[in-house]
Chain A
Amino acid sequence: MAESMALDRPAATGAPMLAVQGLEAWYGESHILHGVGLEIRQGEVVTLLGRNGAGKTTTLRAIMGLTGRRAGSVRFEGRELIAARPDQIARQGIAYCPEERGIFASLDVTENLMLPPVIAPGGLSLDEIYTLFPNLKERARSQGTKLSGGEQQMLAIARILRTGARLLLLDEPSEGLAPVIVQQIGAMIREIKQRGFTVLLVEQNFRFAQTVADRHYVMEHGQVVDMVENGELAASMDRLHEYLGV
């Protein structure tokens, strides 16, 4: 069902940038993903919605090759990546920002920012990053984990904007942040979309998702069960409420 739905979409502009088909993933003995299918076209912002434990985070990690075992197909810009290591996947142009943000305590802010190697031209320059995130410049010498939650989130996203990665996987960037910071994060996602980045966003908060995304996939029990265009969101509220239990 999941795959056919993704394929039913009227093809907007040529082949999708990322095509995930029948993706299965395991953590140890537990089988978490049961045939996830989704597609993202160049320049889109797409969210994964779903309840806790639906497999949203695991989907991002499985695309990145970070689950222990995975099967199915992950094609990025036409190349099959299912057998590749995480570092090889990253070098194709995919960057990952984990839910816990992954700021390194033993590195200062600048070291955290400069850590991911540049893998292709087209990333933001340091000046552009400091324009987008002035706080990071002010606190350049602070220990990474001494930043506030919002600043850490900014740092976690800023450092993958530098690398030239074209597809960003963001896991719940709004989680646990004050409303005013969530608004800033939203503005930033719209800004990076403007600059041509493609984003796959995991969100629990679909009110936030609605302000940034073009389309929404809904996940349940390790599968994609529905897809809603952002424009149809209002008309689909009942369905979504049922999926998300909100």
Chain B
Amino acid sequence: MEDLLFELQLAMPQVILGVINGAFYALLSLGLAVIFGMLNVINFAHGAQFMMGAFVAWMLLAFLGIGYWPALILAPLIVGLVGVLMERLMISRLYKLDHLYGLLLTFGCALVIEGLFRNNFGSSGQRYTPPREFQALNLEIGDFFLPGYRVWVLIAATAVCLATWLVIEKTKIGSYLRAATERPQLVQAFGINVPLMMTLTYGAGVALAAFAGVLAAPIYSVHPAMGANFIITVFAVVVIGGMGSIAGSIVTGFLLGFLQGVTEVVYPPFSQTVVFVIMAIVLLTRPAGLFGRA
């Protein structure tokens, strides 16, 4: 019994770390799901937009002295606005074509954005120190220590995921969004400006990525490839959860983060691969994903 307790204590940090990663997966795949549902575009620029969120927060602090709390609001707004411009100027021209073109375009955008940041800031990371007040949230149970900032990330990510889900499932605006996901033309024939809705939805999805980026800035160093590292796993999460499923993307994000953490304890070399093995199994047995409608 005591051995088991000891083992559990050793395992805890890895599992918690996994769940925190899961929080980022959930936030990012949620944005992807919202965008895919409404625009039918697989937004490959999502990782770059996550990275932009982190960089904007860092730049606000480094150049303008604007701290973490305002940045948590400002960076998603600024990056979301960039998203709105991208949708209006480029992505909206591709709606009549196959999904593949949207994916290629946004992939190209991701490469350009990352290149621009690498050119200006180099590929080594920038440090972003979180405000001191998070130390009040530090969690110590026996030998187990969790920095307060990570506790905050868990709370903030969960809250934002829940709020997004509530808006989509329980509000009038959300019902427009769900309806337009099914039949955009008919919703427009009811008098709703669907093209404008698509622009704002893309902006909101991008803002979610940027919000995740600001949350991530103090944990990971702020560097141009930080999104690219995440996004591959996030796409696996989206496939497992089911393309376009809102609740599915949130639950799957947290679940897979947790699973990665557990794998890290049980068999570390497998921890980076486990998500993709699950993806392959899900694709073979339930191609629409765990929560997707076939």
Contacts and interface: CB of A to CB of B under 8 A. Distances in A.
Given A111-B175, A115-B176, A106 B182 contact: yes
A86 B185 contact: yes
Contacts of B178: 104, 106-107
12 contacts: A64-B189, A86-B188, A87-B188, A89-B189, A90-B188, A96-B186, A104-B183, A106-B181, A107-B178, A115-B175, A119-B191, A160-B190
Interface string A60-92: 000011100000000000000000011101110
Contact of B191 (A90, A105, A107): A90
B190 A90 contact: yes
B190 A117 contact: yes
B179 A87 contact: no
Contacts of B183: 102, 104
A90 B189 contact: yes
B182 A105 contact: yes
Contacts of A102: 183, 186
A116 interface: yes
Interface string A96-119: 101000101111000100111101
B182 A117 contact: no
A115 B189 contact: no
A21 interface: no
B27 interface: no
Interface residues of B, number: 19
A30 to B, nearest CB: 16
B33 interface: no
A163 interface: yes
Contacts of A85: 188, 193, 195
B281 interface: no
A164 to B, nearest CB: 10
Interface of B: 172, 175-176, 178-179, 181-183, 185-195
Most buried by B among A66, A90, A104: A104
A115 B182 contact: no
Nearest to A95: B190
Contacts, number: 58
Interface of A: 64-66, 85-87, 89-91, 95-96, 98, 102, 104-107, 111, 114-117, 119, 160, 163
Contacts of A111: 175
Contacts of B190: 87, 90, 95, 115-117, 160, 163
A58 to B, nearest CB: 14
A104 B194 contact: no
Nearest to A118: B191
Contacts of A115: 175-176, 179, 187, 190
B179 A106 contact: yes
Contacts of A104: 178-179, 182-183
A96 B190 CA distance: 7
Given A86-B188, A87-B188, A115-B190, 7 more contacts: A85-B188, A85-B193, A87-B190, A87-B192, A96-B189, A98-B186, A104-B183
Contacts of A64: 189
A50 B145 CA distance: 76
- Interface pairs A-B: 10 shortest CB-CB: A90-B191, A116-B190, A106-B178, A86-B188, A102-B186, A86-B189, A104-B179, A111-B175, A91-B191, A96-B189
Nearest to B176: A115
A95 B188 CA distance: 11
Given A104-B182, A106-B181, A87 B175 contact: no
A193 to B, nearest CB: 22
Nearest to A93: B191
B249 to A, nearest CB: 15
B194 A87 contact: yes
Contacts of A119: 191
Contacts of A95: 190
A64 B189 CA distance: 7
Nearest to B169: A106
A117 B185 CA distance: 15
A107 B168 CA distance: 11
A67 to B, nearest CB: 10
Most buried by A among B172, B179, B189: B189
A136 B148 CA distance: 51
A129 B179 CA distance: 21
A109 to B, nearest CB: 12
